[in-house]
Structure 1
């Protein structure tokens, strides 16, 4: 398979994920501005998950720009990554509609952790296909940002059972870390 088919399929899945999330926002029950108040947690959850999907979409695009080879294993790892990302609408809705309570927050963290793990696996699989001198290997180096993210997700899951707002703060922190434009791949490809 050519990488453009893999990228197109992944882009389509991510677009559907965003569509499902926005459809889950619901409509206020009433005609006053105050009727939006109960939807604030749902909207905040949507914003956070939208940012995460955007981060994955952007980084996935750059990741595939670095590779020349797509194997059957690449397809399966990518599909598993998309599986975890496809759970974002469910976990986002559950966490937000429960007012960010313990188990929904922990489950949201587990889904974020699993998506990050499989993105990490996809990166290293591509490096194994392309070799240690691959553009991706040179660009990500020791992948400190990725490793820190995994640790923070584990911490967030633990905090979900102790103080859920700290867990949610960690989710926001990781999103902010990845929102900072990462030019490593772009700089190597230019």
Structure 2
């Protein structure tokens, strides 16, 4: 299977997930700004989740810029990645509705983030095995690529922080995104150099 089909499928699934997530936002009861203010936590966690999915999509796209070959394991790793992000509408809605007094929604949100980070790390490892003769991939996303592991460990720590103060889980997971907001510059430089030849 060409990698373009996997990328197109992934793009479509992520677009659907984002659409489902926005449909979970309910209009306020009443026609006042005070009623809208009552939904501030639901809107805030939606923005965090939307930004999170945008960062995942952006980095997935950049990762596949340097991939030449995929395998069956890559397909399944990508499906696992899509499964984990498909849980975002559920956890986003739960956190938005129960943001005070309970740690379970934030902990569950953190578990989904940790699972997604692990799935992305697994996808990178499967791509590395499938495309092992691709020197550019090995050099740019090889064994020394620290961001996925830092994200997994940080997300696991964030889950436990919900027991201290539930919003800490969301804050730490959002801070971890700063590692990924700008996709790997070395990949961009490599692609630009290749295109200029």
Query: TM-score scaled to structure 2, two decimals?
Result: 0.91
Counterpart Cα distance in 2 of 1:134 and 1:60: 19
Counterpart Cα distance in 2 of 1:103 and 1:51: 22
| Number of corresponding residues | 190
Q: Which ranges of structure 1 fall in alignment gaps of 5 or more residues? A: none
Q: 1:151-190 to 2 correspondence within 5 Å?
A: 151-190=153-192
Counterpart Cα distance in 2 of 1:126 and 1:4: 14
1:117 maps to which residue?
118
State the 1:156 CA deviation.
0.5
Counterpart Cα distance in 2 of 1:170 and 1:84: 19
RMSD: 1.4
State the 1:51 CA deviation.
0.7
State the 1:132 CA deviation.
6.6
Q: 1:140-155 to 2 correspondence within 5 Å?
A: 140-141=141-142, 142-155=144-157
> Does the 8 Å CA contact 1:103/1:161 hold for their aligned counterparts?
no
Q: 1:93-108 to 2 correspondence within 5 Å?
A: 93-99=93-99, 101-108=102-109
Deviations 1:37-86 (A, max 9, x none): 12111111111110111011111111111111121111111001100000
Counterpart Cα distance in 1 of 2:171 and 2:86: 22
Q: 1:27-176 to 2 correspondence within 5 Å?
A: 27-99=27-99, 101-131=102-132, 134-141=135-142, 142-176=144-178
> Does the 8 Å CA contact 1:116/1:150 hold for their aligned counterparts?
yes
Secondary structure of the 2:117 match is: helix
State the 1:134 CA deviation.
3.1
Counterpart Cα distance in 2 of 1:128 and 1:119: 14
Bigger mean CA deviation after superposition, 79-88 or 101-110: 101-110
Secondary structure of the 1:179 match is: coil
> Does the 8 Å CA contact 1:127/1:134 hold for their aligned counterparts?
no
- Structure having the larger proportion of residues in helix: 1
Counterpart Cα distance in 2 of 1:68 and 1:107: 36
> Does the 8 Å CA contact 1:41/1:96 hold for their aligned counterparts?
yes
State the 1:135 CA deviation.
2.1
Give runs of ≥4 in structure 1 deviating > 4 Å: none
Q: Which ranges of structure 2 fall in alignment gaps of 5 or more residues? A: 193-197
